[in-house]
Amino acid sequence: MEKNNPMLCDPDSGICAVPGQAGATGTMFKAFTPVAKPITVLYFTDPICSACWCVEPALRKLTSAYGGLIDLQTHMGGLLPGWEGFNDGGMTKPADIAPHWEEMGAYFHMPMLGDVWLEDPLMSSYPPSIAFKAAELQDKQRSLAFLRRLRELVITEKKNITKWRVIAGAATDAGLDTARLHADFNGAAPALFQADLTLARSLGVRGFPTFIFTDATDARQVVYGARPYANFEAAVKALVPDANAAPPPTALEGLFALHASWCAEEVAVALGITHEQAKAALQAAEAKGALAAVHTRNGSVWRRK
């Protein structure tokens, strides 16, 4: 794969890279001071980053197991400013992304459709990124639910998340005030988004997802790309050797108490079962009327009713 095209992600490394920047190495990170919790995690991502969707199973397990130790700070990376000049790796138009997304989904066992790039393609990832910064101004937890919903809409429901009606729908689903979101989208949020881009550059971040773990002594660990959960746990243990994971949920009910929607692979990682076992459990709950689902040819997303 051509690694100088930010929309062409590498499934082996699990990275969507930004061209023309140095890699994420420890020597390029400026010092920053964690707050309150013993570990700060700077998470650099983008709403249309396929690898970021594919890292959700590991990230959800990390926050469930070590959320008491981790201050997770989510920053936008600006994956797609626009299509002008993007002609690397044979990708000259949005339609070229469609098969790549489906390949990434199959590789990571996550539901992904490339259809949006054929039917209603996005010209930039900046509008949903700015919308996320606007959501953060209201409520951090709901902003994360909002980001999740944006990803579901574009990746599994073929919706163009640069359009305000789609953004507003995701905000409503996340329990946000859409009028305030619109005001902040046109007010303070663009500057906050630019600050995220500046921070990413200053830290040498060139691809997504990037996770920078730092403790109070400025010791740091980096997880770069859609890596397995073991890599994330190892980063925590390297900084806090005696860290103990919280007891994991043992059933679907516990998972849906944490998040409104789950994919089979996320359930499999969270519960320590196989993908097929997780899928069967979700289908059984759906059959009983406990869950609703969006089914696609490449997998499903289940939601609590």
Q: Which position has the higher pLDDT, 19 or 135?
A: 135
Question: With 80 as the cut, is the pLDDT of residue 86 above it?
Answer: no
Confidence class for position 212, pLDDT limits 50, 70, 90: very high
Model pLDDT, residue 38: 97
Q: How far apart are CA 235 and CA 255, in angstroms?
A: 24
- Average pLDDT on 98-126 reads 97
Q: How far apart are CA 255 and CA 100, in angstroms?
A: 30
Tens-digit pLDDT profile for residues 147-186: 999 999 999 999 999 999 999 999 999 999 999 999 999 9
pTM for this entry: 0.91
Confidence class for position 143, pLDDT limits 50, 70, 90: very high
- Domains of the chain and CATH, by start: 16-208 (3.40.30.10), 252-304 (1.10.10.10)
Q: Are 89 and 5 in contact (CB under 8 A)?
A: yes
Q: Beta strands 39-45 and 70-76: pairing type?
A: parallel
- Written as six digits, the tokens of 101 are 């997304």
DSSP string, the chain: --TT-TTS-BTTTTBEEPTTS----GGGPPP----SSSEEEEEEE-TT-HHHHHTHHHHHHHHHHHTTTEEEEEEE----S-STT--GGG--SGGGHHHHHHHHHHHHT-----THHHHS--S-SHHHHHHHHHHHHH-HHHHHHHHHHHHHHHHHS---TTSHHHHHHHHHHTT--HHHHHHHHTTTHHHHHHHHHHHHHHTT--EESEEEEE-TT--EEEEESS--HHHHHHHHHHHSTT--PPPPP-SHHHHHHH-SEE-HHHHHHHHT--HHHHHHHHHHHHHTTSEEEEEETTEEEEEE-
Q: How far apart are CA 128 and CA 159, in angstroms?
A: 12
R_g of the chain computed on alpha carbons = 18
User: Which residues sit opposite 180 in a β-bridge?
Assistant: none
